[in-house]
Chain A
């Protein structure tokens, strides 16, 4: 069938990129963009980083003005209410009582935060995913909040870092014995987590929250060993769940997200998925993945839309996953997959601080790379992983890079004499 009506559900990065890619590909039919939040599409990574820094209130990280969306991109915006259902037989998306018909649909509803049960009524307890969350957390930090971060993942750690940079008291509580294991593996998770202690932020691992106390406002957080942490602000960063509840009963296959093939197609005519919500077969890594990062959302949004408007020429989408996180004065970057047989530190030393580089081996292939303040190294490994480089090649390359760095260091020292 000819696609005349494209509907994109989810008005964040993946949804916006879907709209832009469809227009760039020459699609001149109607486009409707449905978003649960009232805000125009905005960028999320800054919310836990620059947005929390002390100083004047930052601008909201809105991607495009309403005028650009309406006039240049010709998009009908349906904002402020979430999609509530999908009828794939009649090809309509339900937003409350409203029915929006589609020929092609891109599902980009992202994910929802896990919350601490029993804290819903307490002021001062926040997740950090939406712009409204960011505004609230920032306001609390501005007020000098004693801060407790629950969950030592990337978001929680960025918030802790932001609070610490402002000189505030902040403690991080993590239920697992080692943080970041799912994202970076055991050994590197511990090494990265040590950045907290190094920067004066207490990190309590293997501790669970048994209650969050307070009448209407949070007053303290109680841990399973009886520790009581006084708190004016509690930021909960204990992970997300893909936002698929509205798709229950739609006939789409849901299993840790919307299950897609390598073209991001769900198997149901006209229906594609992108971003946090999409579980797809990544042909570059040779595994099924569901990404929770900026790059995947941007690229998948565009790829899903291109395929949705021209399904006969659908192309596979594959990538070497990439994410970054900024803590204190440190940039953490990871490419590839942490599912490895072996992790080898090839440069630097986490114990000594500064910078380091670790490589991940699966079979005879380099499958992942982690750098801490190794911005000049990381993308060279992303290219290698994408080409399917062998473990031997990666190690040899790492040696060359180390030798080059040592030579530069000698030249710098000689020049300084």
Chain B
């Protein structure tokens, strides 16, 4: 499974970074950087929380 970011929707609020910091980081410019996209089983819950926590619904998990 992979996580994807719709950068047209993302405004860099960063909630995802606080929930899954191995995957997401907001950079100096305020833009989200996807650090990695492949999700292992034990990472899934954190990434799911990040997806649910995104106020712009910019994140998706795809298989």
Contacts and interface: CB of A to CB of B under 8 A. Distances in A.
Interface string A344-380: 0000000000000000000000000000010110111
B53 A298 contact: yes
Contacts of B15: 295, 322, 379
A324 B13 contact: yes
Given A383-B21, A408-B28, A378 B14 contact: yes
B18 A299 contact: no
A302 interface: yes
A331 interface: yes
Contacts of B21: 379-380, 383
A379 B17 contact: yes
Interface string A247-276: 000000000000000000000000000000
Interface string A379-412: 1101100100000000000000000010010000
A375 B53 contact: no
B18 A376 contact: no
A294 interface: yes
A376 B52 contact: no
A324 B55 CA distance: 11
B30 A322 contact: no
Contacts of A386: 18
Nearest to A299: B53
B55 A294 contact: yes
Interface residues on A, range: 20 to 34
A43 B58 CA distance: 14
A239 interface: no
Nearest to B26: A375
Contact of A383 (B18, B26, B28, B55): B18
A379 B26 contact: yes
A144 interface: no
Interface centre among A43, A375, A386 (most CB of B within 10 A): A375
Nearest to A371: B14
B6 to A, nearest CB: 15
Contacts of B30: 331, 373, 375-376
Contacts of B52: 17, 298-299, 302
A80 B25 CA distance: 41
Contacts of A294: 55
A408 B14 CA distance: 21
A377 to B, nearest CB: 9
Interface in A233-247: none
B53 A295 contact: yes
Contacts of A405: 28
A382 B26 contact: no
B63 interface: no
Contacts of A333: 13-14
Interface of B: 12-15, 17-18, 21, 25-28, 30, 52-53, 55
11 contacts: A294-B55, A320-B18, A322-B15, A331-B12, A335-B18, A373-B30, A375-B14, A375-B26, A376-B30, A379-B14, A382-B18
